[in-house]
């Protein structure tokens, strides 16, 4: 079940109407025809606004929407972006609401809008926050003093998450101060916190259900105005209300990877030793919130380089709020960093992998502390072997197969690997059946599979005897599914709760006269197998019944140790591409994704994540482009027909390879994350392969045939 699949008795349906200007004020609205339409319960606009107690003061709204969306939806006549919701039409059926929504007539006082970073770059300003300040290590702009310099600009347009499942919310007030919501979110706990704050009710009065998410890639990490209006309107009309965004609204109302212009300059010795890097980025935010991301962080710590300068700026545009999108920041930054390094490699006539090895950072150059683990060299090696790097020709345009130019490229990815606290409940019954519960949800990576896999390993229970409950605020609190933290955090909690179950079984056995320790027992679900001199079998059922217990039921909270070093995951992406010499048609021929994600728990679901990330990165490199008609400030590639994402025919065989070595500090299993590194570094690998094939350096994504001919 996905959230919009739920049905609640008495359910009614809402359709949002969007503004037809990008900036200005509503001067008049005629909702009479809509209100007279069959089945209409109510039309809500700024003229009859809903009550959101958290709006009482701007400060509270900001905090309540730590969601980062302090847009007071339907509260004022002001318009900040095209398709900003200006009305919610509620009817007894979806079709009737949709029909009535088309009858609303609105007049505006139009003001000049801005929808292009390229055009407004000069207005870029420094965002607040320590992390966002200009960074200088060594000499500012120290690249200028080097023998060999590469200094170029890179650009990519707005990319949109475009998951198959549309954004949706069902809001059900079961009492005046009790709310039950089913909503597309990557974190039920966070959603509970935001809406309990905004509606000023205790957190425990808000139940959030979101077991499975039909793809999100980051768009479910924050709460959106459409969710807020659904909840507020449901209370106003006293009926459970469902709102599902249209595909067009998915492009305008629930975030995007911001349009970013970057300049990167490298200075190096003739031998390839980096002397300096300067990396600048300007990205869009919305008019009502300063969205920022870690675009330049990778440049600060990725390579051993004495002089590094980074400068990050934002420009408010009349577009809704951006949001993190898989590999947020690093996916953008690595496009410039890893393409620019490739340019330097050609200029120096050094193999691009060799250039990276020359400048390999053996410890974190920002904090001057060791890495907890870094098996990046292994990634370079295994990937080069798999893609057939030895067949690459250093000189571009020298590798031909008939009309096709063949090229090889690579790019590195990295992302912080952190561990969040997670609570888990485990119940083991006499038959050796295990129940595991955590509020974390699953947007596709196979969270429940990962949890079950650890329990199989630890307790010897059969996979089919495990029930996993996830995605509900009534379960023990888990982390948001984001930032590549889930396997490391929830996985560790499963490991810890299994250990607690084992210890409990051993205590019971000891109390019943058996002689055993954790070391000489093999757990087999419904029995304990003792090895050594007292070799024998003990049934879990006997242990429980002798102790008058129906089952073992434990809930634990698991937290990571304090980490002294810098903990990152790494990836290297290799691409073999064929470009048609006459038409510029681009075919990805082979993709290899290598990851140092620590220990890999579930090889099949982990490989699927890496393949999915490669597909996303190929989309970023070759297809994705939210095109605006800047005259109107309107996104015009706002359907999946016009906003291109890769289809099966665009994607070749993708090999996913793992170093699969333990990180010594993350948790007992030694896992790190792979969700983000699956995508980070893919786009530059594609661009670098295209350069190797054609000799054309395309610094503006997406790389389309007309840029090559």
Alpha-carbon distance of 386 to 16, in angstroms, equals 50
Nearer to ligand MOS, 262 or 484 (CB): 484
Strand ranges across the sheet with 404-416: 400-401, 404-416, 568-580, 586-596, 654-658
Contact region with ligand MOS (CB under 6 A), list: 34-42, 318-326, 380-388, 693-701: 318-326
If the CB atoms of residues 325 and 494 are measured against ligand MOS, the closer one turns out to be: 325
Q: Which phi and psi angles does 356 have, rounded to 5°?
A: -70, -35
d(CA 430, CA 465): 12
Residues 540/541/543/548 CA torsion (nearest 10 deg): 140
Site mask for ligand MOS (CB under 6 A), range 6-45, x = bound: ----------------------------------------
Position 325 contacts ligand MOS (CB under 6 A): yes
Question: Rule CB under 6 A: which of 494-533 touch ligand MOS?
Answer: none
Nearer to ligand MOS, 221 or 615 (CB): 221
**Binding residues for ligand MOS restricted to 183-222, rule: CB under 6 A:** 186, 217-218, 221
Answer for which of 108, 154, 324, 523 binds ligand MOS (CB under 6 A) is 324
Q: Is 493 in the site for ligand MOS (CB under 6 A)?
A: no
Taking a C-beta distance cutoff of 8 angstroms, is the pair 645, 624 a contact?
yes
- Kindly state the DSSP code that residue 128 receives in the 8-state scheme: S
Q: Quote the CA–CA distance of 499 and 507 in Å, as a whole number.
A: 12
Output the smallest distance, CB 299 to ligand MOS, in A: 19
CB 217, min distance to ligand MOS, A? 6
Single residue of 103, 235, 326, 634 touching ligand MOS by CB under 6 A: 326
- What distance in Å separates the CA atoms of residue 409 and residue 407, rounded to the nearest whole number? 7
CB of 549 to ligand MOS, least distance (A): 41
Stretch that binds ligand MOS, among 324-332, 452-460, 584-592, 607-615 (CB under 6 A): 324-332
Does residue 331 contact residue 617 with C-beta atoms inside 8 Å? yes
CB 461 within 8 A of CB 451: no
Q: Work out whether 328 is an interface residue with ligand MOS (CB under 6 A).
A: yes
Nearer to ligand MOS, 221 or 268 (CB): 221
Q: Between 332 and 602, whose beta carbon lies closer to ligand MOS? A: 332
> Considering the complex, what minimum distance in angstroms separates the CB of residue 166 from ligand MOS?
17
Residues 644-673: x where in contact with ligand MOS by CB under 6 A, - otherwise, as a string: ------------------------------
Nearer to ligand MOS, 326 or 356 (CB): 326
By beta-carbon proximity to ligand MOS, the closer residue of 218 and 684 is 218
Per-residue CA distances from 8 to 179, 181, 187, 212, 227 (Å): 13, 11, 22, 18, 17
483 touches ligand MOS (CB under 6 A): yes
R_g of the chain computed on alpha carbons: 27
Q: What's the closest the beta carbon of residue 482 comes to ligand MOS, in angstroms?
A: 3
DSSP count for the chain of H helices, then E strands: 16, 29
Residue 252 contacts residue 320 (beta carbons within 8 Å): yes
Q: Are strands 241-244 and 12-18 parallel, antiparallel or unpaired?
A: parallel
CB distance 478 to 631 below 8 Å: no
135 phi, psi to nearest 5 deg: -115, 130
Nearer to ligand MOS, 85 or 322 (CB): 322
Kind plus residue range of the DSSP H or E element containing 345: helix 330-348
- CB 641 within 8 Å of CB 573: no
Q: List the x/- string, 140-179, binding to ligand MOS by CB under 6 A.
A: ----------------------------------------
Contacts to ligand MOS from residues 211-270, by CB under 6 A = 217-218, 221
In the bound state with ligand MOS, the residue whose beta carbon lies nearer, of 330 and 343, is 330
Supply the DSSP symbol for 366. T
Residue carrying the six token digits 């757990």:
523
Choose between 161 and 236: whose C-beta lies nearer to ligand MOS: 161
CB of 611 to ligand MOS, least distance (A): 17
Q: Which of 482, 491, 612, 670 binds ligand MOS (CB under 6 A)?
A: 482
415 near ligand MOS (CB under 6 A)? no
User: Which residue, among 644, 638, 642, has the nearest Cα to 701 in the 3D structure?
Assistant: 644
Q: Does 312 bind ligand MOS (CB under 6 A)?
A: no
Question: Given the complex with ligand MOS, which of 171 and 254 has the nearer CB atom?
Answer: 254
CB 12 within 8 A of CB 239: yes
Q: Which parts of 614-643 interact with ligand MOS (CB under 6 A)?
A: none
Rounded to the nearest whole angstrom, what is the least distance from the CB of residue 181 to ligand MOS in the complex?
Answer: 20
Nearer to ligand MOS, 103 or 419 (CB): 419
- Asked if 228 contacts 198 with a C-beta cutoff of 8 angstroms, the reply is yes
What residues form DSSP beta bridges with 634?
629
Closer of 186 and 667 to ligand MOS (Cβ) = 186
Told to check if 613 binds ligand MOS by CB under 6 A, we report no
CA dihedral defined by 230, 234, 235, 240, rounded to 10 degrees?
Answer: -130
Q: For 125, left (φ over 0), alpha (ψ -120 to 50), or beta?
A: beta
* C-beta closer to ligand MOS: residue 19 or 610: 610
Distance CA 678, CA 612 (A): 7
Minimum distance from CB of 614 to ligand MOS (Å)?
16
Piece in contact with ligand MOS (CB under 6 A), picked from 251-259, 306-314, 322-330, 638-646: 322-330
Q: Which is nearer to ligand MOS, 82 or 217 (CB)?
A: 217
**How many chain residues are in contact with ligand MOS, going by CB under 6 A?**
10
Q: How far is the CB of 2 from ligand MOS (least distance, A)?
A: 17
Q: Is the Cβ–Cβ distance between 103 and 37 less than 8 Å?
A: yes
What's the min distance (Å) between Cβ of 280 and ligand MOS?
23
| CA quadruple 177, 182, 183, 189: dihedral, nearest 10 | 60
Q: What are phi and psi of 582, to 5 degrees?
A: -90, -45
Residues in contact with ligand MOS by CB under 6 A are: 186, 217-218, 221, 324-326, 328, 482-483
């Amino acid at each position: 079940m996905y959230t919009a699949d739920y049905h609640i008795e008495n359910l009614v349906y809402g359709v949002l109407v969007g503004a037809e200007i990008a900036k200005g004020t509503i001067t008049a609205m005629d909702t009479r025809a809509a209100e007279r339409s069959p089945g209409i319960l109510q039309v809500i606009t700024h003229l009859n606004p809903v009550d959101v107690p958290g709006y009482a003061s701007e400060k509270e709204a900001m905090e309540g929407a730590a969601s980062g969306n302090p847009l007071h939806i339907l509260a004022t006549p002001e318009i900040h972006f095209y398709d900003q919701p200006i009305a919610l039409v509620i009817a007894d059926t979806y079709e009737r609401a949709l029909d009535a929504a088309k009858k609303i007539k609105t007049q505006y006082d139009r003001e000049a809008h801005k929808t292009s970073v390229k055009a407004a770059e000069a207005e870029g300003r420094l965002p607040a926050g320590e992390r966002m300040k200009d960074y200088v290590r060594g000499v500012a702009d120290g690249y200028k003093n080097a023998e060999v310099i590469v200094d170029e600009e890179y650009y990519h347009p707005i990319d949109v998450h475009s998951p198959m499942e549309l954004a949706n919310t069902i809001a059900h007030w079961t009492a005046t101060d009790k709310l039950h919501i089913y909503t597309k979110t990557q974190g039920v706990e966070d959603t509970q916190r935001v809406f309990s704050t905004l509606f000023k009710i205790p957190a425990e009065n808000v139940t959030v259900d979101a077991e499975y998410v039909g793809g999100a890639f980051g768009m479910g990490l924050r709460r959106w105005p459409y969710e807020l209006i659904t909840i507020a309107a449901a209370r106003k009309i006293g009926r459970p209300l469902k709102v599902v965004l249209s595909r067009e609204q998915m492009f305008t109302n629930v975030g995007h990877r911001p349009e970013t212009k970057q300049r990167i300059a490298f200075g190096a010795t003739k031998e390839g030793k980096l002397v300096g890097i300067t990396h600048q980025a300007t990205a869009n935010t919305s008019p009502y919130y300063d969205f920022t991301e870690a675009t330049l962080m990778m440049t600060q710590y990725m390579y051993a380089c004495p002089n590094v300068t980074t400068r990050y700026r934002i420009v408010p545009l009349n577009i809704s709020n951006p949001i993190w999108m898989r590999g947020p920041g690093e996916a953008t930054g690595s496009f410039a960093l890893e393409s620019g390094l490739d340019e330097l490699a050609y200029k120096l006539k050094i193999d691009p992998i060799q250039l990276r090895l020359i400048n390999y950072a053996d410890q974190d150059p920002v904090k001057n502390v060791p890495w907890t683990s870094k098996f990046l060299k292994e990634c370079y090696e295994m990937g080069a072997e798999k893609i057939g790097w030895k067949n690459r020709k250093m000189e571009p345009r020298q590798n031909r197969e008939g009309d096709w130019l063949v090229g090889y490229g690579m790019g590195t990815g990295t992302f912080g690997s952190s561990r969040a606290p997670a609570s888990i409940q485990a119940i083991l019954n006499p038959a050796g059946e295990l129940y595991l519960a955590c509020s974390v949800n699953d947007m596709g990576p196979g969270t429940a599979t990962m949890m079950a896999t650890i329990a199989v390993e630890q307790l010897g229970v059969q996979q089919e005897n495990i029930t996993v409950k996830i995605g509900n605020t009534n379960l023990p609190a888990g982390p948001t599914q984001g930032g590549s933290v889930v396997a490391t955090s929830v996985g560790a909690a499963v490991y810890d709760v299994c250990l607690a179950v084992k210890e409990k079984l051993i205590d019971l056995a000891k109390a019943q006269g058996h002689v055993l320790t954790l070391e000489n027992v093999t757990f087999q679900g419904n029995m304990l197998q003792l090895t050594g001199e007292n070799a024998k079998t003990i049934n879990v059922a006997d242990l429980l019944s002798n102790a008058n217990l129906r089952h073992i039921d434990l809930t634990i909270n698991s937290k990571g140790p304090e980490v002294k070093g810098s903990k990152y995951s790494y990836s290297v992406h290799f691409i073999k591409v064929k470009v048609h010499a006459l038409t510029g048609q681009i075919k990805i021929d082979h993709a290899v994704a290598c990851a140092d994600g620590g220990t890999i728990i579930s090889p099949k679901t982990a490989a699927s994540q890496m393949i999915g990330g490669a597909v996303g990165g190929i989309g970023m490199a070759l297809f994705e482009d939210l095109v605006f008609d800047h005259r109107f400030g309107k996104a015009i590639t706002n359907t999946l027909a016009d906003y291109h994402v890769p289809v099966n025919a665009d994607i070749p065989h993708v090999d996913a390879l793992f170093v699969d070595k333990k990180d010594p500090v993350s948790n007992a299993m030694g896992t790190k994350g792979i969700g983000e590194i699956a995508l980070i570094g893919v786009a530059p690998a594609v661009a670098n392969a295209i350069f190797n094939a054609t000799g054309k350096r395309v610094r503006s994504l997406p790389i389309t045939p007309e840029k090559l001919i």
